[in-house]
Amino acid sequence: TKIGHTIIIILGATGDLTWRKLIPAIYNLWLDGWIPGEFAVIGVSRRKYTDPEFGKHLHEGVDKFSRQGKAKKDHWDVFTKYLTYLQGEFDATSTYAAIGKQIKALEKKWNATANSVFYLAVPPNQFEGISMKIGSSELAENKEKSRIVIEKPFGHNLESAINLNTLLHTHFDESQIYRIDHYLGKETVQNILAFRFANALFEPIWNRNYIDHIQITVSEELGVEHRGNYYETAGALRDMIQNHLLQLMCLIAMEAPISFDANEIRNKKVDVLNAVRKMKPEEVHKNAIRGQYGSGWVKGKKVKSYRQEPDVSPSSNVETFAAVKLYVDNWRWQGVPFYVRTGKRLNETISVITIQFKPVPHHSFPVEAIENWQSNKLILNIQPHMGIQLSFQAKQPGLKMLLNPVHMLFNYHDTYTGGTPEAYETLLIDVFRGDATLFMRADQVEAAWTILMPVLDAWKANTSPNFPTYDAGSHGPQDADALIAVDGHNWITIP
Ligand code: BG6
């Protein structure tokens, strides 16, 4: 789709997200020729900054975080002309009047109506106020061309998500709202759709008849860093599972879309969320576990416990690890457990989805010939290794009949040359194009909260869990092993 003239208004322009992710992404898109000639970035924040100071700050961010390395001087000198800074309070009407004036001036200069993209790079408690101001200042009147991008977390629970959706819908059509889940912009995540629906090979066995269970793991070595303030209001379930992990689950479990239309894809995904079995309060302890990291060693470095981190309460009951067992009650997935887990300060940084196929129905080989009957696995590596691995039994060369699993590997780095765009590049260009396929629709967000509410409620009611439950640098709490062991499984480590 042709993009047309575009004005990106970043609310929260001096914050971390703008510095680390948004501007490096916009810069790379521009550098690679993805942004049309006429565009502008208006950065809005409270801090006092001149345009050159703002530019300098962003330049440092690009040098530090751009996937293409430091910006060349002559490139940056051109790019910086697209950036302006506007100082203003987010709750002042005058700020939005000033934004409106700048938009009008640019449109006059270009002699065209531009797309105006309002990016809310602010803490979640400001989503409501800012979006209402954008609306009441009539900056969202053009339903085709003005768009709003909202970061996660979208709501704090089901009720607040519904309230936020209702509020947004007073000024914005759903088609103007882009709720970001940056996992959906990752190359390897987008590839799940290609793998499943551009190949006829796996679809016939992609169901309860052949699949034993599915594991989705997103583990991080990083701790909570400087985000204690936010994290204390969130925890692993809200921060990661409600959005990223449930979205991965949707891609694995959804039915084939009829087309690549944004609503068609999202309909199929929301069907999955709506089919997830709702836990009864008394079932939560069997299906969901939480943990919090103590001090420990990560990659040879001594690290603090969560409760010692900045802005974290020394008696915090916030979980930094969560594992949940879910079932999708439909024809395809009846009885197949989906185990999802995520945590901070674990032994490795890896995001991976494992599809464990059932063992053969009859053992023709002598028992001693096979070391592992559950050999058929498909492993989708999201990051940092990008690729897909298929494991199957092979006979070891030799005079004895001895079988063991071998692995067939598709690896991005061996297959493709050239860079991989960052998730934010993909997602921003989609917003500019007006393509919402990779963004969360109102009903998806609410359906995801609905699944997790019993867990959140149960955990809130039990305020005295025995934290910490795992050492930093370990593979997580033992309860997580127990959660899956009762079904006769264990968490799969990647060979
Ligand atoms: C964010 C979470 O959404 O995702 C962070 O708020 C987490 O807590 C991050 O660290 C992980 O993203 P990625 O792309 O590094 O896997």
Angle separating helix axes 262-275 and 246-253, nearest 10 degrees? 100
pLDDT at residue number 463: 76
pLDDT at residue number 495: 53
From residue 251, how far is each of 189, 219, 240, 243, 436 by CA, in Å?
A: 8, 19, 16, 12, 16
Ligand 1 atom index nearest CA of 383: 16
221 CB near ligand 1 (under 6 Å)? no
Strand-pair partners of 324: 288, 340
Which residue among the candidates 57, 59, 244, 475 is catalytic per the annotation?
A: 244
Ligand 1 atom index nearest CA of 220: 10
Among 156, 122, 26, residue whose Cα is nearest residue 79: 26
pLDDT at residue number 386: 95
- In DSSP notation, 226-244 reads T-HHHHTTS-HIIIIIIII
Among 352, 392, 395, residue whose Cα is nearest residue 373: 392
> Is 90 a known ligand-binding residue?
yes
From residue 249, how far is each of 128, 311, 330, 415 by CA, in Å?
A: 29, 32, 14, 26
Q: Which portions of the chain are predicted below pLDDT 70? A: 1, 37, 494-495
For residues 301 and 299, give the distance between their C-alpha atoms in angstroms, rounded to a whole number: 6
- What residues contact 362, with CB distance under 8 A and at least 6 apart? none
pLDDT at residue number 260: 92
283 CB near ligand 1 (under 6 Å)? no
5 catalytic? Reply is no
| Residue whose token pair is 């981190």 | 309
pLDDT at residue number 363: 85
Q: Which residue puts its alpha carbon closest to atom 5 of ligand 1? A: 239
Q: What is the ipTM of this complex?
A: 0.99
pLDDT at residue number 1: 61
Q: What is the pTM of this model?
A: 0.96
| 239, 293, 381, 440, best to mutate for ligand 1 pocket (most atoms within 8 Å of CB) | 239
**What secondary structure letter does DSSP report for 151?**
P
